[in-house]
Structure 1
Amino acid sequence: MNERIDAPMAEIAVFVAVAQTGSFTRAAEDLGSSKSNVGKAVQRLENRLGTKLFQRTTRAVRLTEDGETYLAAAQDALDGLREAEQQLAARRSEPVGRVKIDLPAGFGRLLLPSFIQLREKYPKLTLEMALTDRMSDPVGEGWDVVVRIGTLPQDSELTVRKLCDLRLGLYASPDYLERRGKVMSLAALTDHDAIVFRGPSGRLRAWTVQDGTHIREVSLSPVLVLADGQALVEAAVAGFGITQILDRVALPYVRSGRLIHLLPEADTDGPPVHAIISLGQKMAAKTRAVVNHLADTLQQTAE
């Protein structure tokens, strides 16, 4: 302990040490201070409280009635502080507390079931999620983790971790293909109904396809235009037509037989997926657990 003991909490700690040892000398030894400083700290506390806490004799130091009352309260307070310190230390090493996550709408619905496993692994973790396709502000809006697809703005206040790469492919439902016929080539797309995504800029997103050794864009007259990524998938599953979506989003529907992957050779590289984390001190264990879970889950969906 520092030789200067003038903070009220420090004075309380000195008082408790004297009460527990029954001696100013032994309390000073335990605290690494001097008998004089210990005596002054107790005196300051008594002056602040306006009462005597100890009866002092040449042979012993005993608590007064007021001292006994104050000791009980002081021990409760110090015990509470020690418990809080232990909890804070645990938070640094164990994922504990709330993590706010902002996810793209379609990706969020894809990943949502996997968070059950995360909760089972870390039962002291609480998750708060938003599913939105807009570019959220991690710092200004208080998000711990923002997951976004595509090119990210440069920002020195943010740290970014790449979670995975994506592929873009063409998909349609079995019912639609049964009604309209199979798609055997890129040229045949012009005879089919297209479901097209309208991006945040307001522009329709053309399909990017691999045509032999070249990558080119295919612009079709859509029968349905949607600005929601999940709605794009649901429209394809419902049989509206063919759409181009991300492989990780489409995979569960392909495995369940609700979508069919068309012309796999026409797939192209899609945008990367990043986790955006606000900079600060060392990343909290709870945030790291969520980011690691996202990366592991997205890796598994590709296998």
Structure 2
Amino acid sequence: MSFRNLDDLVVFVRVTECGSFSAAARAMDLAPTTVSKQIARLERQLGTTLFERNTRRLKITEEGRAIVERARAALILLDEATEIARAGSDELTGTIRVTAPVPFGSRYVATATAAFRKLHPKVGFELHLTDRIVDLYTGDIDVAIRVAKLADSRLIARHLANNRRILVAAPDYLEQHAPPIQPGDLVDHTCLLFSYPGLGRNSWTLRKGREVHEVVISSNLATDSGDTLRTWCIAGLGVSLRELWDVADELRAGRLVHILPGWEEETSPISFVRPKRDPIPKRISTFGDFLAELWRVPPWEA
């Protein structure tokens, strides 16, 4: 059987990923009625019902579930075949849609995409920087760079590097205040807090080997902006608990000093995250390999 309209198959796959006709319509910039008509047309051509519809939810049928996996794989293979035909070789082409947190993305992901583009000049990027967690199944995104532990079991994560959080202060501040010798000494220092409504009690849980020390902190200098914390810390206003990648340049330049070395918050991963869709387009798997090698010794650790 040949499909009269390949777009119907594309819409079917997107509806299964988004969970509803309306969400798929928004993701594809189509009218909901258009999506509904295309699914109905595909069902007529296949001679089977793909979704059970009611007023509360949309449920894919067993037949639809069997078809969608094969359809997704076929579309990816067709996409790669089109890339090869356009390029006249197996050169990578196409667009990679990436999301990343604003500060990490602007500092490191933007640089990484530029380096990858130089190696593969026919690959394009759409880089979306946001501190909001983007749903990779409903958003039009291929890959997320996440600086946190992965909570969504529907996703596949590849570890790229470690996210270490260390204590830092400016030389000016340390000239006026005796550096802390142990975590408990922090209660006698001005601490700069990352805080936002609903966060709850402000505390730092520091670890050194098997030792764990929780420091409860009260401070009149708090913000929900990491950039602001770094600025305050460089200005000598107090001690801050910051991601190493965020303050590496300041440490090298001497604008900040690493204090209480060895005491850090629990390390979290920096990961290359994608939906569970196979096969994965070659441009995306190659980009993942590139990042893993690029950050094998992270630039903020070097």
Distance change >3 Å, CA 114–CA 226, structure 1 → 2: same
* C-alpha distance in 1 between matches for 2:102 and 2:263: 25
Give TM-score scaled by structure 1 length. 0.63
Match of residue 264 from structure 1: 261
Match of residue 202 from structure 1: 199
Distance change >3 Å, CA 205–CA 125, structure 1 → 2: farther
Q: Residue 286 of structure 2 is aligned with which of 284, 289, 297?
A: 289
Match of residue 166 from structure 1: 163
Instruction: Map residues 34-53 of structure 1 onto 2, 5 A cutoff.
Output: none
Q: Residue 115 of structure 1 is aligned with which of 103, 113, 116?
A: 113
Code of the residue aligned with 1:189 in structure 2: it is L
Code of the residue aligned with 2:271 in structure 1: it is H
| Residues 1:132 and 2:130 are matched in the alignment | yes
Match of residue 148 from structure 2: 150
Match of residue 86 from structure 1: 85
Helix, strand or coil for the counterpart of 1:117? helix
Code of the residue aligned with 2:140 in structure 1: it is G
1:190 Cα deviation from its structure 2 partner: 1.9
* C-alpha distance in 2 between matches for 1:84 and 1:244: 46
Q: Do the aligned partners of 1:193 and 1:242 also contact (CA within 8 Å) in 2?
A: yes
Q: Residue 95 of structure 1 is aligned with which of 48, 73, 92?
A: 92
Q: Do the aligned partners of 2:193 and 2:219 also contact (CA within 8 Å) in 1?
A: yes
Match of residue 46 from structure 2: none
Aligned length: 220
* C-alpha distance in 2 between matches for 1:181 and 1:132: 38
1:233 Cα deviation from its structure 2 partner: 2.6
Code of the residue aligned with 1:229 in structure 2: it is G
Match of residue 61 from structure 1: none
Match of residue 9 from structure 2: none
Q: Do the aligned partners of 2:99 and 2:128 also contact (CA within 8 Å) in 1?
A: yes
Helix, strand or coil for the counterpart of 1:110? helix
Give TM-score scaled by structure 2 length. 0.63
- 1:185-241 Cα deviation digits (max 9, x unpaired): 323322221111126853355212136842121121123222233333333223332
* C-alpha distance in 2 between matches for 1:213 and 1:278: 35
1:143 Cα deviation from its structure 2 partner: 1.1
Distance change >3 Å, CA 143–CA 218, structure 1 → 2: same
Code of the residue aligned with 1:194 in structure 2: it is C
Q: Do the aligned partners of 1:197 and 1:204 also contact (CA within 8 Å) in 2?
A: no
Match of residue 4 from structure 1: none
* C-alpha distance in 2 between matches for 1:200 and 1:139: 28
Distance change >3 Å, CA 200–CA 131, structure 1 → 2: farther
* C-alpha distance in 2 between matches for 1:193 and 1:86: 62
Q: Do the aligned partners of 1:95 and 1:287 also contact (CA within 8 Å) in 2?
A: no
Code of the residue aligned with 1:86 in structure 2: it is A
Code of the residue aligned with 1:129 in structure 2: it is L
* C-alpha distance in 2 between matches for 1:120 and 1:97: 14
Match of residue 243 from structure 1: 240
